[in-house]
Amino acid sequence: MTGTIELHGERTGNCLRISVALEEAGLPYSVVHVDLRSGAHRRPDHLKLNPWGKVPSIVDSTVAGEPFVLSQSNAIIFYLDQKAPGHIFPSDDVRARAIALERFFYFLTEVISTGMSSFQLGSGQPGQLILRDAALSSLIASNRFLTDSRFMAGDAFSAADIAAFTFAMAYQRAIDWASAPELRRWFDEVGNRPTVQRGLAAFDR
Ligand SMILES: N[C@@H](CCC(=O)N[C@@H](CS)C(=O)NCC(=O)O)C(=O)O
């Protein structure tokens, strides 16, 4: 394979989901820092990659022809899954894949997007704490996915774990860990996973 996959982004939840997924998939990549504080994501060179003026985006030069540019973190997750099947979602068992998708979308829609809405409202705004509590209680409710399983969708690590972990990491001081012992056990195991550690550090270098 010639060329590389560039990941354009910064150390945010949406970007960390991609760096961890790239590590899990075993796909070589390099990071291009987009300094959100200085507004680099709204400059013309970045808008050519990401018309929404957000991060992450990838530029895949490992493909034939022109480099392939893709934005929207969840579209990127599915693209990486197709490039390296079986690491991000199960590939050979229809039911296992469906369950991993079920859990992945649970974390995206009930936890991450609710938490993001709370964050965007800003502290002290009406509804902000209600949304934050809803996101946290949905995360706590995922304890039940873990009572008979090592990971969020069974015994294989998947994108559901990546989505849950990046959120749990950001909110770890607000989580009532005593009420979710399996979640605590899972959080420690995922946090110690070498691919996750490398993915989390991707924007620090
Ligand atoms: N739906 C987009 C959301 C991307 C997004 O909101 N990115 C944030 C960082 S996590 C961002 O670029 N924020 C900068 C801004 O909105 O000005 C995705 O999943 O990629």
Nearest-CA residue for ligand 1 atom 16 is 54
Residue closest via CA to ligand 1's atom 12 equals 54
Whether the pLDDT of residue 1 is over 80: the answer is no
pLDDT digit string, tens, across residues 145-200: 999 999 999 999 999 999 999 999 999 999 999 999 999 999 999 999 999 999 99
Structure confidence at residue 88 (pLDDT) = 98
As a whole number, mean pLDDT of residues 89-95 equals 97
* Ligand 1 centroid, distance to 32 Cα (angstroms): 16
Amino acid at 126: P
Question: Ligand 1 centroid vs 30 CA: distance in angstroms?
Answer: 19
Residue nearest to atom 6 of ligand 1 (CA): 54
In this predicted structure, what is the pLDDT of residue 16?
Answer: 98
- Give CA–CA dist 187/146, Å, rounded: 11
C-alpha triplet 114, 189, 111: angle, nearest 5°: 5
Residue 110 has pLDDT above 90, yes or no: yes
The mean pLDDT of 30-37, rounded to a whole number, is 98
At 75 the pLDDT is: 98
Exposure on the CB side of residue 16, measured as CA atoms within 13 A: 19
pTM: 0.97
How many Å apart are CA 157 and CA 166, to the nearest integer? 14
pLDDT of residue 205: 82
